[in-house]
Amino acid sequence: MKYVIAYDLGTGGIKTSIFGEDGISKGFSFLPYDTSFPKEGFREQRPDTWWDAVKTTTSTVLLETGIDPNQIVSLAVSGHSLGALPIGYNGQLLCEYVPIWNDSRAKAQAEAFFEKTSEDEWYLSTGNGFPPELYSLFKILWYKDNMPEVYENTDKFIGTKDYINYKMTGVLATDRSYASGCGVFSLKDNRYNEKYIDISGIDRNKLPDILNSTDIVGNILPEVAEELGLSGETLVCAGGVDNACMALGAGCTDDGDVYTSLGTSAWIAVCDRVPVVDTENRPYVFAHCLPDKYVSAVAIFSAGNSLRWVRDKFFADFYSAELAGGAPSYKEIDSLAENSPAGSNKVFFIPTLAGGSSLDKSADAKGCYFGLDLMHTRSDIARATLEGIALNLRVALDVLKKYVTVGENMLIVGGGSKSPLWRQIFADVYEMNIATARVGQDAGSFGAAAVAAVGAGVWTDFEKIKSIVNDEKLTVPSEELSSFYNSLIPSFRKLLDISSDVGDLLKNI
């Protein structure tokens, strides 16, 4: 059997997995790493810590699986987005610590840029729907303004996963999916937008060449192969940005394929040949790992973190019992929530504990429970939390459905997909069949593995993905409950607006 290695370079750590040509994971190793917060708005990581983690996890998974390295034909990396790592003309990384995707230090650079051009026109060209200062262009401009010696000595500014590829092969390049988050990539033309490069004043030559995700960057360098315990014949594919690899690993390969990711934050993403751009709600768009496809998504910033907060503050007894060997705390919360009817006895939870997203009037929106009175119980709080997150994501789904036709099934991945009650709530709120993936929380890893398999010719195309991913069991919506939740949507939207008003009010106190 032939094998591939998938590296999932996440914000909190790296997961290194070996997949067989059958698409099944044979083993994995995970190693966490830290984020530094040296100043307000700064969020940094040390790229050489990523590389050390690559070496450690590769050695571990090879040892634990016992797979012959000569049977591993290729590898690919899925990496967290919006990076701008300065690689010098001397071939060295010029800064020990670099800003990661949620670093917002470049607000002044973004503001100066939009004094010269329309922000809405820029968004419609790039699909870059996060706050602009997060995108790579503005981080590059921050280097130019604040560390000019680093900027001048930089050969290429590359992405997170591109750095791992560079360490593997010595080649400086990126792929279409990662480049689409750089701030100067034209979705329509599938190339860098010279207009915005000129307006920004950055040197065009400092941007890396763009490959397809399945293109071969090169063979792994002999000395690196020896260090990692791999064959020098191992091919390194260009890989992809995490959003695209997760969509691929979730089986989103055809127009209208849609999935929900339930993690710390949550988002709904749809695959289509047309990018979904809307200046009001600002979906964020990445080019897909598949040519001529796009992944468009709308996110909320508080999902799993909201549920965890509720567990820690309202249901600490469940968590203490779990730590002492009792039942899992989230299962206990689900059991409690089942005692409350649909609608949670008119309690609404607005899940903006981590601030407002593009769906909200204000980035300062605050989380709220509306409708509480003396009759309410912990069961109502539990169910309202699950319903509030689902209703907020329904608002996101409605944005995407204005522009593309989505399929009848919604795949849910991430930790939240394990809850039968929550799956039923999502089915009823979305008015869609809910599917779960066999790959579960490993969609990003499986997407990277698929890229490696196609890139090396182990698979001829991505057609196998759906049969590997899809669990045949569906959670079907109740017509009665779907009608009921539909009746709640107007009220929920009004309460979303009120939570933004509350946030703006509190900001000025």
User: Torsions phi, psi of 269, nearest 5?
Assistant: -130, 145
For 160-197, how does the pLDDT look when each residue is reduced to its tens digit (9 = 90+)?
999 999 999 999 999 999 999 999 999 999 999 999 99
pTM of the full predicted structure? 0.90
Q: For residue 450, give the nearest of 246, 221, 230, 175 by alpha carbon.
A: 246
Please state which CATH class domain 3-244 belongs to: alpha beta
For 298-349, how does the pLDDT look when each residue is reduced to its tens digit (9 = 90+)?
999 889 889 999 999 999 999 999 999 999 999 999 999 999 999 999 999 9
Calculate helix-pair angle for 479-507, 378-401, nearest 10 degrees.
90
d(CA 336, CA 380): 8
For 401-454, how does the pLDDT look when each residue is reduced to its tens digit (9 = 90+)?
999 999 999 999 888 888 999 999 999 999 999 998 777 568 899 999 999 999
Per-residue confidence band for 476, with pLDDT thresholds at 50, 70 and 90: very high
d(CA 149, CA 102): 24
Q: Which residues contact 153 (CB under 8 A, 6 or more apart)?
A: 86, 88, 89, 90, 94
d(CA 470, CA 445): 16
Strand partners, 8: 15, 78
Residue 107 φ/ψ region, left for φ over 0, alpha for ψ in the -120 to 50 degree band, beta for the rest? alpha
Domain segments of the chain as ranges = 3-244, 250-301+397-479, 304-395
Q: What is the 3-state secondary structure (H, E, C) of 438-453?
A: CCHHHHHHHHHHHHHH
Identical fold at 3-244 and 304-395?
yes
Q: Which residue has the higher pLDDT, 471 or 321?
A: 321
From the CB of residue 268, how many other CB atoms can be counted at a distance below 10 Å? 27
What number is the average pLDDT over the span 494-509?
91
What is the number of alpha carbons within 13 Å of residue 379 lying toward its C-beta?
Answer: 12
Please say whether the beta carbons of 462 and 290 come within 8 A.
yes
pLDDT of residue 134: 94
pLDDT of residue 441: 62
d(CA 381, CA 471): 31
Mean pLDDT of the chain: 95
CATH topology of domain 250-301+397-479: Nucleotidyltransferase; domain 5 (3.30.420)
User: Torsions phi, psi of 15, nearest 5?
Assistant: -115, 120
Q: For residue 35, give the nearest of 82, 93, 84, 101 by alpha carbon.
A: 101
For 33-81, how does the pLDDT look when each residue is reduced to its tens digit (9 = 90+)?
999 999 989 999 999 999 999 999 999 999 999 999 999 999 999 999 9
Report the length, in residues, of the chain: 509
Give how far the C-alpha of residue 498 lies from the chain's centroid of Cα atoms, to the nearest Å: 28
From the CB of residue 317, how many other CB atoms can be counted at a distance below 10 Å? 12
Share of the chain above pLDDT 90, in %: 88
Tokens 């995407």, residue? 400
CATH classification code of 304-395: 3.30.420.40
